[in-house]
Amino acid sequence: MDETQKALADRLFPAVKPPEELELRNIPPEQRRLHTETADLTVSSIYQYLANGKLKIPEFQRGYVWTRMQASRLLESLIIQCPIPVVYFSQDTNNDLMVIDGNQRLLSIKLFMNDAFQLEGLTTYPELNGQSWSTLDPRFRDHILNRTLRCITILRDTHPQIKFDVFERLNTGSVQLNSQELRHGINFGYLIEQLDELTKNEKWKKAVGIRVDKRMKGAELVLRFFALRYSRANYTKPLSSFLDQFSSTHKAAAPATVTVWSEDFTSTVDRAEHALGKLTFRLFEEDLNTVTAFNSALYDAEMIAFSETNNQIIIDKRYDPIELRSKIAILLKDERFSNSIKRATSDETSVAYRISTFKNFLDGYTNGI
């Protein structure tokens, strides 16, 4: 094949790296079973659960996108007793339920019962077009309230990774949810809320190059720091499964603990930004010009090292940033370190090496030497 043609094709149609596979085979066989409970809940019961917070639609779910006509046709289906697709819930540790499939249907019902819209586009009962919940004949309202929906709940004693796998199988919408969006749904709690809050840090946003984050990439990077900072000894690839496990284990972490972690994150970002400025989390040459945009593997090394260093010179910022950057540029040229942030970056040896090497560099740094 002509090399020029091949080079052009490689640029126009680059190979897409497949997503990391869930390591379900690492789970003991007896823990791979899915524990579920099936119930037929009345519309009235579901509405009450949504109203009192017993049933939640987590933030990761795509916003309400149904048209008024789609929502109206759903209500008409309830009236004529047309079967409605199964709704799936996930049970949390405190027995609360999260909607993992069916949020558009449930939100449509809730909105109509809150008088948020009038029926339109009905074909079986066009006489009801223009009616809201409050103007609907009480007999129709009672009929809707007494209709039942088949609900399948994935119980809390299901292994988190199995629950995550099922979550992905149900994720069949036009826009597939990514790993972090799924984690937000399965493991929603104080830790997940703090991830979202920390992504608003302006220094950090500038360093990682995130301007508009619609798919929770920032939250995943914050989670990545927490997981490697506080559970690095348990790291095994793939990274995605490691993050799943960490967020599951710590979803109910005490607010005081998460607050300490958050303060650590904020101070670490400040240290890294002071030391490297616009070069933070980027590869650069000895002339201090960047050669790449944000590098997530280098992010691991720098964040953990600046967080864990015991060098008081670094902690107190008693150094010349330009001199420090020049020394870091030399480290970035080291072949083994360079490989650890460019190739097979999720391998256990690569993760351990790049973090320990950068930390050792900071720990041993001395002004003017």
174-193 pLDDT, tens per residue? 456 677 877 877 777 889 88
Under the banding of pLDDT at 50, 70 and 90, the label for residue 130 is very high
Buried b (16+ CB within 10 A) or exposed e, 267-281: ebbebbbbbbeebbb
CB atoms within 10 A of CB 266: 14
DSSP string covering 93-156, please?
A: TTS-EEEEE-HHHHHHHHHHHTT-----S-SS-GGGTT--TTTS-HHHHHHHHH-EEEEEEE-T
pLDDT top residue among 213 and 326: 326
Q: Is the dihedral of CA 61, 88, 192, 303 positive or negative?
A: negative
Inform me whether the pLDDT recorded for 16 exceeds 50: no
d(CA 87, CA 77): 15
Inform me whether the pLDDT recorded for 63 exceeds 80: no
Closest CA to 223 of 256, 267, 181: 181
Inform me whether the pLDDT recorded for 48 exceeds 70: yes
Q: Where are the domains of the chain?
A: 35-157, 179-363
Under the banding of pLDDT at 50, 70 and 90, the label for residue 18 is very low
pTM of the model as a whole: 0.65
Structural contact between residues 238 and 281, judged by C-beta atoms closer than 8 angstroms: no
Under the banding of pLDDT at 50, 70 and 90, the label for residue 13 is low
Buried b (16+ CB within 10 A) or exposed e, 153-169: bbeeebbbbbbbbbbee
Calculate the CA 267 to chain-centre distance.
Answer: 23
The whole-chain average pLDDT of the chain stands at 87
Structural contact between residues 304 and 357, judged by C-beta atoms closer than 8 angstroms: no
pLDDT of residue 174: 47
pLDDT of residue 40: 92
pLDDT top residue among 212 and 297: 297
111 contacts: CB under 8 Å, gap ≥ 6: 64, 71, 117
**Average of pLDDT values for 115-123?**
94
pLDDT of residue 189: 82
**Average of pLDDT values for 273-284?**
95
Most confident of 19-28, 31-40, 177-186: 31-40
Question: How much of the chain exceeds pLDDT 70, in percent?
Answer: 87
Structural contact between residues 100 and 89, judged by C-beta atoms closer than 8 angstroms: yes
